[in-house]
Amino acid sequence: MLQALTTAVVNTIFPPRCLACTAPTDQPHGLCPACWRDTHFIAGTVCRCCGVPLVGAAGAEDVCESCTRHPPAWDRGAAAVVYGGTGRKAVLALKHGDRLDMVRPLAGWMANAGCGLLAGAEVIAPVPLHWRRLVRRRYNQSAELARRLGRIAGRPVVADLLLRRRATVPQEGMSRSERVANQAAAFAVNPRHGARMAGRAVLLVDDVLTTGATLSACADCLRQAGAARVDVLVLARVAFEDSLGL
């Protein structure tokens, strides 16, 4: 009762606003009707490797053309939203806009999309930032999402399981091969935790999945350290309109 009263008072003083814009909403951390319509939550038939939406009936071995031609280094993957519209705005606000207030609701979206992956995870780890970029941003958005997911699922989070050994250039506009080259030898398993990986199921967390070059580089490191399986869960998946059935 006290919590409900506190919430009512706070909502009276500070009326709830849309997570993605300043429009009023009925509930805190929600979306206004316009932003909701502009958000493509991923559901239905998806690629079991990368989470991209697929057209057609679901099957046990649904794999998109991209993952068939370029198999990722991880086992299974899931994503909460398509990287576009409100989904893109949310990613950019979290990454560059100091919107740590968004971590809780966005991690909730991810938990809904990846409930099966969370259930099978023994360790959750974020894709790391290079220390120079971390100093500029002040936080790693993937680590913040991972910590929240760990609390939701009751799974241990090892925020420094992976280390970024060298700085990489921003990958926007790069081809798949250029992204792979950019991420080559960029990651390593932290020597402090390497022995803990033998035979473990690891869930990698990141904000966006495009070609999968970054996540594959991380998964390769975990495989070499003895991880039994590596799955990935991301907030947003870059997808093309022809994969959405639009």
- Number of domains the chain contains: 2
The domain in which residue 33 lies consists of: 1-37
Q: Indicate whether 156 and 203 sit together in one domain.
A: yes
Q: Indicate whether 151 and 206 sit together in one domain.
A: yes
Q: Indicate whether 142 and 230 sit together in one domain.
A: yes
pLDDT for 182 equals: 60
Of 44-48, 51-55, 86-90, 178-182, least confident by mean pLDDT is 178-182
Q: Indicate whether 187 and 223 sit together in one domain.
A: yes
pLDDT for 130 equals: 85
pLDDT for 243 equals: 46
Q: Indicate whether 25 and 144 sit together in one domain.
A: no
Q: Indicate whether 199 and 77 sit together in one domain.
A: yes
Strand 229-237 and strand 201-209: the pairing is: parallel
pLDDT for 186 equals: 77
In a domain, 105, yes or no: yes
In a domain, 10, yes or no: yes
Q: Which ranges in the chain belong to alpha helices (H)? A: 2-13, 33-37, 65-69, 86-96, 103-113, 115-120, 131-137, 141-153, 176-183, 213-224
Q: Is 184 left (phi over 0), alpha (psi -120 to 50) or beta?
A: beta
In a domain, 42, yes or no: no
Q: Indicate whether 62 and 177 sit together in one domain.
A: yes
Q: What is the pLDDT of residues 87-111, one digit of tens each?
A: 999 999 999 988 999 999 999 999 9
State the Cα–Cα distance between residues 230 and 228, nearest whole angstrom. Answer: 7
- Percentage of the chain beyond pLDDT 70 is 82
Q: Indicate whether 116 and 185 sit together in one domain.
A: yes
In a domain, 128, yes or no: yes
In a domain, 216, yes or no: yes
- Beta partners for residue 189, in sequence order: 162
Q: What is the pLDDT of residues 110-167, one digit of tens each?
A: 999 999 999 999 999 999 998 888 888 899 999 999 999 999 999 999 999 999 987 6
Tell me, what CATH number does 152's domain have? 3.40.50
In a domain, 81, yes or no: yes
Q: Which H helix or E strand runs over 202?
A: strand 201-209
Is residue 170 pLDDT above 80, yes or no? no
Q: Indicate whether 6 and 66 sit together in one domain.
A: no
Q: Indicate whether 73 and 148 sit together in one domain.
A: yes
Q: Indicate whether 216 and 174 sit together in one domain.
A: yes
Q: Indicate whether 118 and 8 sit together in one domain.
A: no
